[in-house]
């Protein structure tokens, strides 16, 4: 049995990871602003994400800390929102690093989520773990991730094992935000290609994503940087077609760049989420022989939409 601390572990991914870890007998502690009620195998500890406090003791004698904290990226890219995206990532990573420095027996391993958005809008270039991120790009993507990862590199100096994960868009599972939104658009006949539809979408089925998160916690041979993404990236037009097929719609009204930009702002979202893209591949996972459960976007989306419809 391992003792695992999830920092910010009450969201979409954190809830799924909690279930996977406790099902195999691991003891889980969730540190968060709204950590939710305790349940079998899980205890919860509040923090404000800005200062040291009683929560630091929850890290003592833990085996692994998994950092999932951060403001949701689905927000308007205003200067204040971007500053908050940075502080909720860079700041909380530095805070956890500061906390570990005060412990007698700190965790030996730290698993950190970043994002493939660090590559901004990458065109048709194929990107793996050896591809250097650009120095410039959309601030809410490139700068946020660069500062996030730089803080992590500094905070993990001296730890015996550190794992940096850059996940793709997760498809499937309870509360999947992408499926919820895209399936709704498809049912209303609005899920046509976005901004021309040529931008690449890196994606990953939720079972693969959770499997890999669990592996990063439990497999001591896993270390360094990994891209968590299906080996089969698709273009936006293929993704949208998969959602239309899953809800039984043959046609969807296309959304030109200008319409997408205005619509995203009206909905309080960021148009770059739909208009930029990256063709990322999981080179390290493939070299290590990981067998992906989901490699076909149509099958993955159909499964995700069916699960969302039944609430399972």
Question: What class does CATH assign to 3-175+202-230+281-293?
Answer: alpha beta
The pLDDT tens digits of the residues spanning 137-157 come to 899 999 999 999 999 999 999
What is the C-alpha end-to-end distance of the chain, expressed in Å?
A: 28
pLDDT of residue 311: 58
Name the residue among 307, 278, 309, 270 with its Cα closest to residue 16: 307
Output the CA torsion sign for 290, 293, 294, 295.
Answer: positive
Helix (H/G/I), strand (E/B), else coil: 189 = coil
Spatial contact of 227 and 164, defined as CB atoms under 8 Å apart: no
CA distance 191 to 267: 16
DSSP 39: B
pLDDT of residue 52: 96
pLDDT of residue 12: 82
Which burial class, exposed, middle or buried, applies to 245 when counting CB atoms under 10 A from its CB (0-12, 13-18, 19+)?
Answer: middle
Q: Where are the domains of the chain?
A: 3-175+202-230+281-293
Q: Which two tokens stand for residue 97?
A: 């690093």
Spatial contact of 199 and 235, defined as CB atoms under 8 Å apart: yes
Residue with token string 């439990």: 218
pLDDT of residue 48: 93
pLDDT of residue 11: 82
pLDDT of residue 307: 87
CA distance 140 to 121: 12
pLDDT of residue 112: 97
pTM assigned to the model: 0.94
Q: Can you list the residues of the chain whose pLDDT is less than 70?
A: 35-38, 310-312
């Amino acid at each position: 049995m391992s003792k695992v601390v999830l920092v910010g572990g009450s969201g979409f991914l954190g809830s799924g990871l909690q279930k996977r870890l406790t099902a195999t007998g691991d003891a889980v502690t969730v540190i968060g602003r709204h950590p939710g009620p305790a349940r079998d195998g899980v205890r919860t500890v509040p923090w404000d994400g800005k200062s040291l406090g009683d929560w630091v003791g929850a890290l003592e004698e833990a085996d692994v800390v998994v950092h999932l904290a951060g403001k949701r990226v689905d927000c308007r890219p205003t200067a204040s929102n971007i500053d908050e995206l940075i502080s909720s990532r860079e700041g909380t990573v530095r805070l956890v690093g500061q906390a570990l420095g005060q412990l007698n027996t700190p965790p030996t391993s730290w698993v950190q989520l970043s994002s493939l958005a660090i590559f901004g809008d990458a065109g048709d270039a194929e990107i793996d773990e050896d591809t250097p991120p650009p120095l410039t790009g959309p601030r809410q993507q490139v700068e946020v991730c660069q500062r996030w990862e730089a803080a992590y590199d500094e905070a993990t100096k001296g730890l015996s094992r550190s794992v940096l994960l850059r996940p793709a868009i997760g498809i499937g599972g309870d509360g999947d935000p992408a499926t919820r939104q895209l399936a709704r658009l498809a049912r209303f006949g609005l899920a046509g290609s976005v901004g021309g539809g040529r931008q690449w979408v890196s994606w990953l089925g939720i079972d693969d994503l959770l499997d890999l998160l669990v592996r990063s916690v439990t497999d001591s041979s896993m270390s360094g940087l990994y891209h968590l993404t299906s080996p089969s990236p698709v273009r936006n037009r293929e993704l949208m077609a998969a959602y239309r097929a899953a809800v039984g719609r043959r046609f969807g009204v296309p959304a030109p760049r200008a319409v997408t930009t205005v619509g995203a702002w009206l909905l309080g979202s960021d148009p770059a989420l739909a208009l930029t893209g990256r063709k990322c591949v999981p080179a390290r996972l493939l070299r290590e022989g990981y067998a992906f459960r989901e490699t076909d976007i149509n099958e993955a989306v159909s499964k995700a939409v069916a699960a969302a419809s039944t609430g399972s």
